[in-house]
Amino acid sequence: MVIKVVEDPRAIIKRWLTAESFITVGRSLERADSMEKVLGRARFVEDFFEEGFLVARIVLAKVPHARIRRMVYDRALENPRIYRVLTHRDIPGENQVGYAIPDQPLLAEGKVRYYGEPIAVVVGEDPDSVNNAVDDVVLEADPLPVLYDPLEAMERRDVLVHEALGSNIAFRTKVRKGDVELGFSKADVVVENTYRTHHQEHAYLEPEAALAVPDLENRITVIATIQYPHLGQRIVARVLGIPSSYVKIVAPYVGGGFGGKDDEGPLVAARAALAAYHLRRPVLLYYTREDSIQTHPKREAAVVKYKSGASRDGRLTAIEVTIVHDTGAYANRGPFILWRATMHSSGPYHVPNAKVDGYCVYTNKVPQGSFRGFGNPPVQFAAEAQMDRLAEKLGLDPVDFRLMNMLRPGSETITGQVLPSSVGIHEALKKLAVESDWRIKRRMYSESREGRFRRGIGVAVGWHGNSTSRAVPDWSNSYIHISRDGSVSVYTGIVEVGQGSPSSSHRQLVAEILGCPIEKINVIFGTTDAPDTGATHASRGTSVGAIGIVVAAGRIRSRLESFLAEYFNVQREDIRISGGDVVVGDRVRMRWEELVALAYSKGVDLSATGYFFLPKGSFNDEVGQGFAYPVFSYIAVVAEVEVDTYTGRVRVLEVHPALAVGKVINPEAVKTQVEGAIIQGLGYVLMEKLAISEYGRVVNDNLTDYVIPTAHETPAIREAVFVEDLWEYGPFGAKGVGEMAFIPMPAAIANAISHALGVGITELPLTIEKVYSLVKQVVG
Amino acid sequence: MRVVFTLNGRVVEVDVEPSEILLDTLRLKLGVKSVKRGCERGECGACTVLVNDAPVVSCLLLTVQINGSSVTTVEGLQSDSLFMELASEFGKNFAVQCGYCSPAMILTSYAFIKKVLENSVKPSREDIVRAIEGNLCRCGTYPRVVRSIEKVLERRAKAAPQI
């Protein structure tokens, strides 16, 4: 029999999307990296440091806004163990690292725009000498007026963070749908509030570091704490003025990223590379915890003005939203973050009339950047608080009111995009309401609002577009090669930053598709030696990152089937390859290894790439309508809290999540992402607050004063409800998960506290002092 | 200054600066890479080691202070059956994400279990939570670390003779 080899990505994706029985997919197989990590064998960037390597640190500006006269560092160089102090003058290529807008230097040039901005790199022989030298670099600069409030900065023309732009507004977005005035005129209830959210520090346990090793002919290898090796390659090449192909980036195990190392990683790599370029020796550049907190971009601090209306029958009629992001000194990924906030501002609801405006505004503060949720948590916080207030006014239960307006397959979003399928949030919330005993508890707590300890239960939903916003190109890729012994090497640019995709889902997908024994698979991840797979951000490690793996493995599988069909003269239905067993018709049986040996001897190509370019539509900026994302992931959470009205202390007793994230490749691995995001979200809402002084300095630049959750603050997290609303292009229908549970957490906790106290909440964080003042409002 | 101590069962002699912290001695001079730098002020717990069987953050200890002591890191426990049982529970229960805090987290957990078993007490969940409270994990593996500890304790309780 002749079976045509299927090489077409779409056909391959579809074949595995419609698979019905699974060997490894859908099973909670243990991660391949857990043992080496607990046994201390997993190597992180600093673990590659050897005696004889040089060390380097960045020097940070200690002024918030100033024109640079010169930098003086003679004293630093008096120590013979200090080799160089590098400034922007030492950059052989371009001193330009802005991701969205070319507004950011690698090392300050001309001006300093925030306290904590890197101005120089000190390179020396040992950490002590370098630490001392850092303090001996003096910046002589003329102070300029500072801007800290984004609302003020928007109006000012006399003080500009970036003069060339002529305004402090770095970027604007808009969405227009229907006619909001008409929509509000049809509303029986209208709610209008201004919501404020705050910065969040990533506080990954591993601070940033990069080890740069120079090679002959201007080639360089950088081992870095980074979430996108190929982006690091591009930035290093640009800064050094050499071709990208001369730069190799390796992300070994990365000690947490959450977006922070997506922004800062390439810059750390470039600064280390600059040092190695000049010194011609391996250089380890590392951030202290203080360096890290002072300099790297933070979660968006947002002001969201939100007006929404609904009719008496419980339908949303219109929303009008203004989002202001304080992007700090540099746009960084601010425009992308603002896009995402804008596109998601309605929540996963059908809203016939919408007017949304977004502003990304410069101030003299540490930049805003990528952090789990990427602009989405503040707008969901606002949208979901609005939903509760509207429900209250309408006399409806918050879950019922949400369900009445929720997106379903075939619904249209506020950008006019129709979502034909993979919209499982309605079902997820319905199930969650039952499993969390929502109705009983809601009634019970409503009726017992007295005494010192008051309980409340809150619900919030969230949605998150998979892939990059709008028509920004996104793709997946991988390279798979089968060795003669039947072992399988999988190359991906996806990084292992804790989420576990290379060590769990990637292996499970390859084992499922090839039918090989899973222990034969080695995933080589986080390297520019693999094809550009895009970043390990935006919950895309598996959802988008592994599409390339499905395609590459699917190609090889198809070649093997075609070969077997012809060789043994059988049909495809007669071929089974799974778990390392190969059965052809009813007479031939062999091991996977034998199949590979046979294929090698008969000329079957057992290596393949799996490029797939995500199909997207276009977004029209003029009219504020169009394609936003290929698909959305959805989540709903119910949170229960207990408020101590004597002190304002809040205990989160229980969080119950429900997700509609397509096919779940490894349920336990997915749950760990959900739990981690819940705990991080709880920290953001109740504990974490970046304190910025009048001088623009982050005051709590350490983990003593910037407090993150410990085991003690961790609430009970109930078994997640999953609705498998398959995505047509996802690996076996999988969608993104990593960020999901963070997104509704601010709203869920705030709504629960609102419920306990009977008071509206518009501002985060809900620290003990803040909650106590809310208590005072109610109790007096 | 010359310091002599036991590292993972072997006596080591090392020359250190008076101000040198144990974290640096271990990582830079003795090649012990499982001990991680996180904050260098005793907050995150990533540099936890066992000194005479008790978990201590090595960034707040001067190396001269441990002269004559016994220091244990995960490198020294890989033939210890209790430790390996716990490690295997960490794996099975997905108590590891990025892994940066993991060697320290498991050392703290191990020291706790050992103490519990030695004293034949039955800890509550709250006791377990308190025991690991000093080890930060930004990935949020806490519930699974607690579960891993509970699993080992449950198994040991079953194996122990009933009094």
Beta-bridged to residue A635, according to DSSP, are: A462, A659
| Domain spans of chain B, in order of start | 2-76, 78-159
**Strands, DSSP E only, in A367-487?**
453-465, 475-476, 479-482
Residues A492 and A592 both lie in one domain? yes
Are B149 and B114 a contacting pair, CB within 8 Å?
no
Does A297 reside within a domain? no
Query: Residue A421: CB partners within 8 Å, gap ≥ 6?
Result: A409, A725, A726, A728
Does A238 reside within a domain? yes
Residues A497 and A596 both lie in one domain? yes
**Token duo for residue A442:** 């809601």
Q: Is A710 in Cβ contact with B87 (below 8 Å)?
A: no
Residue A136, pLDDT > 60, answer yes
Task: Look at the block and give the residue holding tokens 């006014």.
Answer: A393
Q: Is B96 in Cβ contact with A33 (below 8 Å)?
A: yes
Q: Is B101 in Cβ contact with A669 (below 8 Å)?
A: no
Model confidence over A93-104: pLDDT tens digits?
999 999 999 999
The shortest CB-CB distance from B36 to any of A206, A710, A711 is to: A206
Q: What are phi and psi of A573, to 5 degrees?
A: -60, -20
- Our CA-based measurement puts residue A541 at a distance from the nearest CA of chain B, in whole angstroms, of 14
B contacts of A672 (beta carbons < 8 Å):
94, 97, 139-141, 144
Q: What are phi and psi of A431, to 5 degrees?
A: -65, -40
How many whole angstroms separate alpha carbon A685 and alpha carbon A328? Answer: 21
**Token duo for residue A753:** 């506290």
How many whole angstroms separate alpha carbon A248 and alpha carbon A532? Answer: 12
Residues A681 and A722 both lie in one domain? yes
A contacts of B92 (beta carbons < 8 Å):
30
Beta-bridged to residue A318, according to DSSP, are: A309
Residues A606 and A506 both lie in one domain? yes
Tell me whether A738 touches chain B (CB under 8 Å): no
**Token duo for residue A230:** 């190929």
Are A221 and A212 a contacting pair, CB within 8 Å?
yes
CA contacts within 13 A on the Cβ side of A59: 27
Identify the CATH number of the domain in which residue A282 sits: 3.90.1170.50
Query: Residue A772: CB partners within 8 Å, gap ≥ 6?
Result: A647, A648
Architecture of domain B2-76 in this structure: Roll (3.10)
Tell me how many residue pairs between chain A and chain B have CB atoms under 8 A apart: 168
Mean pLDDT of A367-377: 98
| Predicted model pTM | 0.98
Q: Are strands A111-112 and A66-72 parallel, antiparallel or unpaired?
A: antiparallel
**Token duo for residue A395:** 């006399």
The pLDDT, as a whole number, for residue A705 is 97
pLDDT-derived band at B162, boundaries 50, 70, 90: low
Q: Is B91 in Cβ contact with A40 (below 8 Å)?
A: no
| Amino acid of residue A497 | V
Q: How would you write A265-294 as a 3-class SS string?
A: HHHHHHHHHHHHHHHCCCEEEECCHHHHHH
Q: How many residues does chain A have?
A: 780
Residue A628, pLDDT > 60, answer yes
Long-range interactions of B86-89: CB distance < 8 A, separation 24+: B86/B110, B86/B113, B86/B148, B86/B149, B86/B152, B87/A35, B87/A38, B87/A39, B88/A35, B89/B147, B89/B148, B89/B149, B89/B151, B89/B152
The pLDDT, as a whole number, for residue A340 is 98
Residues A24 and A71 both lie in one domain? no
Does A164 reside within a domain? no
Are A33 and A42 a contacting pair, CB within 8 Å?
yes
Q: By CA distance, what is A715's nearest residue in B?
A: B143
Question: How many CB atoms lie under 10 A from the CB of residue A718?
Answer: 17
Q: Looking at chain A from residue 683 to 702, which residues have their Cβ under 8 Å from any Cβ of chain B?
A: 702
Query: Residue A759: CB partners within 8 Å, gap ≥ 6?
Result: A774, A777, A778
Residues A574 and A533 both lie in one domain? yes
Question: How many CB atoms lie under 10 A from the CB of residue A383?
Answer: 27
B contacts of A706 (beta carbons < 8 Å):
none
Tell me whether B112 touches chain A (CB under 8 Å): no
DSSP chain B: -EEEEEETTEEEEEE--TT-BHHHIIIIIS---SSPPS-SSSSS-TTEEEETTEEEETTSSBGGGGTT-EEE-GGGGTT-HHHHHHHHHHHHTT--SS-SSHHHHHHHHHHHHHHHHHHT----HHHHHHHHTTS--TT--HHHHHHHHHHHHHHHHHHSPP-
Please state whether the peptide bond connecting residue A765 to the residue before it is cis, i.e. omega within 30 degrees of 0: yes
| Amino acid of residue B116 | V
- Our CA-based measurement puts residue A714 at a distance from the nearest CA of chain B, in whole angstroms, of 7
Residue B94, pLDDT > 70, answer yes
Tell me whether A536 touches chain B (CB under 8 Å): no
Q: Are strands A521-524 and A575-578 parallel, antiparallel or unpaired?
A: unpaired
Does A79 reside within a domain? yes
Q: Is B74 in Cβ contact with A38 (below 8 Å)?
A: yes
Residue A603, pLDDT > 90, answer yes
The pLDDT, as a whole number, for residue A713 is 96
Mean pLDDT of A121-149: 97
Tell me whether A166 touches chain B (CB under 8 Å): no
The pLDDT, as a whole number, for residue B163 is 52
Does A39 reside within a domain? no
Cα R_g (chain A), whole angstroms: 27
Query: Residue B161: CB partners within 8 Å, gap ≥ 6?
Result: none
The shortest CB-CB distance from B99 to any of A37, A671, A708 is to: A37
Cα–Cα nearest to A208, from A54, A368, A57: A57
Under CATH, to which class is B78-159 assigned? mainly alpha
Tell me whether B85 touches chain A (CB under 8 Å): no
Residues A658 and A675 both lie in one domain? yes
- B77, B83, B86, B88 alpha-carbon torsion, rounded to 10°: 60
Q: Is A669 in Cβ contact with B96 (below 8 Å)?
A: no
Domain boundary pick from A286, A314, A341: A286
Question: How many CB atoms lie under 10 A from the CB of residue B28?
Answer: 15
Are A575 and A514 a contacting pair, CB within 8 Å?
no
Residues A545 and A422 both lie in one domain? no
Does A14 reside within a domain? yes
The shortest CB-CB distance from A676 to any of B37, B97, B106 is to: B97
Model confidence over A424-445: pLDDT tens digits?
999 999 999 999 999 999 999 9
Residues A440 and A479 both lie in one domain? no
- Per the structure, the complete domain to which residue A483 belongs is given by 9-30+471-613
Domain total in chain A:
3
Domain boundary pick from A613, A641, A676: A613
The pLDDT, as a whole number, for residue B161 is 64
Question: How many CB atoms lie under 10 A from the CB of residue A151?
Answer: 12
The pLDDT, as a whole number, for residue A440 is 97
Cα–Cα nearest to A418, from A219, A629, A610: A629
Residues A88 and A110 both lie in one domain? yes
Q: How far is CA A37 from CA B100, B103, B106, in A?
A: 8, 7, 10
Interhelix angle for A260-279 vs A229-240, to 10°?
A: 40
Q: By CA distance, what is A34's nearest residue in B?
A: B91
Domain boundary pick from A265, A286, A307: A286
> What separation, in Å, do the N-terminal and C-terminal C-alpha atoms of chain A show?
84
Model confidence over A686-695: pLDDT tens digits?
999 999 999 9
Residues A637 and A675 both lie in one domain? yes
> What separation, in Å, do the N-terminal and C-terminal C-alpha atoms of chain B show?
52
A contacts of B98 (beta carbons < 8 Å):
204-206, 253-257, 496-498
**Token duo for residue A375:** 């602009």
The shortest CB-CB distance from B136 to any of A44, A671, A708 is to: A708
pLDDT-derived band at A449, boundaries 50, 70, 90: confident
Model confidence over A520-561: pLDDT tens digits?
999 999 999 999 999 999 999 999 999 999 999 999 999 999
Cα–Cα nearest to A477, from A624, A611, A281: A611
Does A579 reside within a domain? yes
Q: Choose between B163 and A86: higher pLDDT.
A: A86
Mean pLDDT of A323-330: 98
Residues A475 and A550 both lie in one domain? yes
The shortest CB-CB distance from B133 to any of A497, A676, A712 is to: A712
Q: By CA distance, what is B142's nearest residue in A?
A: A711
Q: Looking at chain A from residue 174 to 213, which residues have their Cβ under 8 Å from any Cβ of chain B?
A: 202-207
Does A172 reside within a domain? no
pLDDT-derived band at A678, boundaries 50, 70, 90: very high
Tell me whether B16 touches chain A (CB under 8 Å): no
The shortest CB-CB distance from A710 to any of B94, B96, B133 is to: B133
Cα–Cα nearest to A655, from A636, A672, A629: A636
Q: Is A289 in Cβ contact with B41 (below 8 Å)?
A: yes
Helix extents (H) in A592-723: 592-601, 667-686
**Token duo for residue A570:** 């059988």
Are A230 and A528 a contacting pair, CB within 8 Å?
yes
The pLDDT, as a whole number, for residue A450 is 84
Identify the CATH number of the domain in which residue A543 sits: 3.30.365.10
Q: Is B100 in Cβ contact with A204 (below 8 Å)?
A: yes
Are A649 and A775 a contacting pair, CB within 8 Å?
no
* Identical fold between B2-76 and B78-159: no
pLDDT-derived band at A471, boundaries 50, 70, 90: confident
Task: Look at the block and give the residue holding tokens 């950059």.
Answer: A91
